[in-house]
Amino acid sequence: MKISVIGLNHKTAPVEIREKLAFDSPELLTVLRHLKSKFTQAEFVLLSTCNRVELYSAYKPEDGVSSDELIKFLAEFHGIESSSFKDYLYIHNDEEAVKHLLTVASSLDSMVVGEDQIIGQVKESFRLASTARTTGKVLNRLFHRGFTVAKKVRTKTSISSGRVSVAGVAVELAKQLFSDMSEAKVVVIGAGEMGELLIQHLLHVECKDITVVNRTQERGEDMANKYGIKAGAWQELEEQLIEADIAIASAGGQDYLFKKESFEKITSRRRKGSLLLIDIAVPRNIEPAVNEIEDVYLYSVDELSEVAEQNRKNREEDISCGMQIVYENVREFMEWFGSREIGPLIGQMRKQFTLISEKELERFFVGSREEASCKDVMVPMVRRIVNRLLHCVIKNVNTVAKEHGASEAAKFVDNIVQQAEEISSETGKKRDES
């Protein structure tokens, strides 16, 4: 059995590449079901966030799964050439794949280290995979291990203290560019989880004029009532931007809400000074060319990295402690993963030992000895000897597993099985000759 992850993230690929491979929830279910219909024996979980797209899989070599096949599948699903993103991918196998998931789930691989959103996103991805019935024994255990590790890291370190989220970094950037946030008119586009985080952070820095605009007005009004801010109608978004000082976009969707041409019409009607736009959506809500408009300053999620890097430097000790927890759990998981192979191999070893003893007894009880009175005593006695020898071998297997890991123990047993098969084959030949 093999565990693999194929993906790209904020470290390896810019947002213009990541958004090409991004999935929303309905697409996740669709692609998982297509994968399962194509590779029926394999297991899959697909994680897609603003900062990463990762496909986790567990399969046997004979399942017909390979990295190239999975990359081709993702490219075909999105209708793009694999050459447009292949150079940005990372591929991790087995132990490295396990370490990667545990690091991701613990937010140690996030752009904003310590952010709480990633564990919810990992859990949601696993839930969708369970709904699509694409998980199995291996990925079930791996992802639950990831949930446990994430909890331990948050409990045993202070990594999640303070304002640690992409939303928090966006507000921090706005704060750096606007000396008095209390006087700024801010428009939050989108009332999802990220939109709510933005509102919380804006209130924390004492913003007094916040308007949330959402496609579904009822949801926007509920959010506004919850936090004591204003709600605007979606069809009035342009009017809101004409009066805004800051707009932060986090709405879902595959197409730009604003392109340069349409945004120029908005800026031509503005009577205020500069407008700060922060687009933390993936796919992006605002066309990058909007940044070319005079007095408009557009920042994408990738351009928040400088603020996020300072957050990482401030948490180096917590990161180190968190990684120790990850390493311990990688080792424990890989011991379990390796031990899955030992059981069947021990069964094969027992079968070969039994086969050798039976063939030797057959060779002995031939001719005049075929009806020997001692046969009824010797046959069970030989079986007891074989079982005792097997017990000794299994004890040694357990010692190897404990001292050198399950993978080494599996190799040890596999070597014995191969030798036993050779002995069994030789014994059979000698019996036929006699």
pLDDT tens for residues 207-254? 999 999 999 999 999 999 999 999 999 999 999 999 999 999 999 888
Which of 11-25, 39-53, 331-345 is predicted least confidently? 331-345
Q: With a cut of 90, say whether residue 257 has pLDDT above it.
A: yes
For residues 168 and 306, which has the higher predicted lDDT (pLDDT)? 168
Superfamily (CATH H level) for 2-161: Glutamyl-tRNA reductase, N-terminal domain (3.30.460.30)
What tens digit of pLDDT does each residue of 321-346 get? 999 999 999 988 988 887 777 778 88
Superfamily (CATH H level) for 166-312: NAD(P)-binding Rossmann-like Domain (3.40.50.720)
Token reading at 131? 């709904």
Q: What's the rounded Cα separation, in Å, for the pair 139 and 58?
A: 7
Q: What's the rounded Cα separation, in Å, for the pair 324 and 317?
A: 11
Average pLDDT over residues 115-123: 92
Q: Which of 50, 207, 374, 392 is catalytic?
A: 50
Please report the pLDDT score of residue 396 as a whole number.
85
Please report the pLDDT score of residue 1 as a whole number.
83
Question: Has 50 been annotated as catalytic?
Answer: yes
Give the up-direction half-sphere exposure of residue 249: CA atoms within 13 A in the CB hemisphere. 26
Band (pLDDT 50/70/90 cuts) for residue 427 is low
Q: What's the rounded Cα separation, in Å, for the pair 178 and 169?
A: 14
Q: What's the rounded Cα separation, in Å, for the pair 169 and 308?
A: 6
Sorted by where each begins, the domain ranges of the chain are 2-161, 166-312, 338-425
Which of 122-126, 180-184, 278-282, 307-311 is predicted least confidently? 307-311
Q: With a cut of 70, say whether residue 22 has pLDDT above it.
A: yes
Please report the pLDDT score of residue 135 as a whole number.
96
Q: With a cut of 80, say whether residue 27 has pLDDT above it.
A: yes
Q: What's the rounded Cα separation, in Å, for the pair 123 and 107?
A: 13
Burial 27-55 (b: 16+ CB within 10 A, else e): ebbebbebbbeebeebbbbbbbbbbbbbb
For residues 240 and 396, which has the higher predicted lDDT (pLDDT)? 240
| Concatenated DSSP letters of 386-426 | HHHHHHHHHHHHHHHHHHH-HHHHHHHHHHHHHHHHHHHHH
Q: What's the rounded Cα separation, in Å, for the pair 167 and 211?
A: 16
Which of 128-137, 238-247, 288-297, 314-323 is predicted least confidently? 314-323
Q: What's the rounded Cα separation, in Å, for the pair 170 and 261?
A: 25
Please report the pLDDT score of residue 433 as a whole number.
56
Q: In this structure, are residues 278 and 246 in contact, taking their beta carbons and an 8 Å threshold?
A: yes
Q: With a cut of 60, say whether residue 432 has pLDDT above it.
A: no
What tens digit of pLDDT does each residue of 162-218 get? 556 788 888 988 888 887 899 999 999 999 999 999 999 999 999 999 999 999 999
Band (pLDDT 50/70/90 cuts) for residue 430 is low
Q: Which residues pair with 54 in a beta bridge?
A: 7, 47
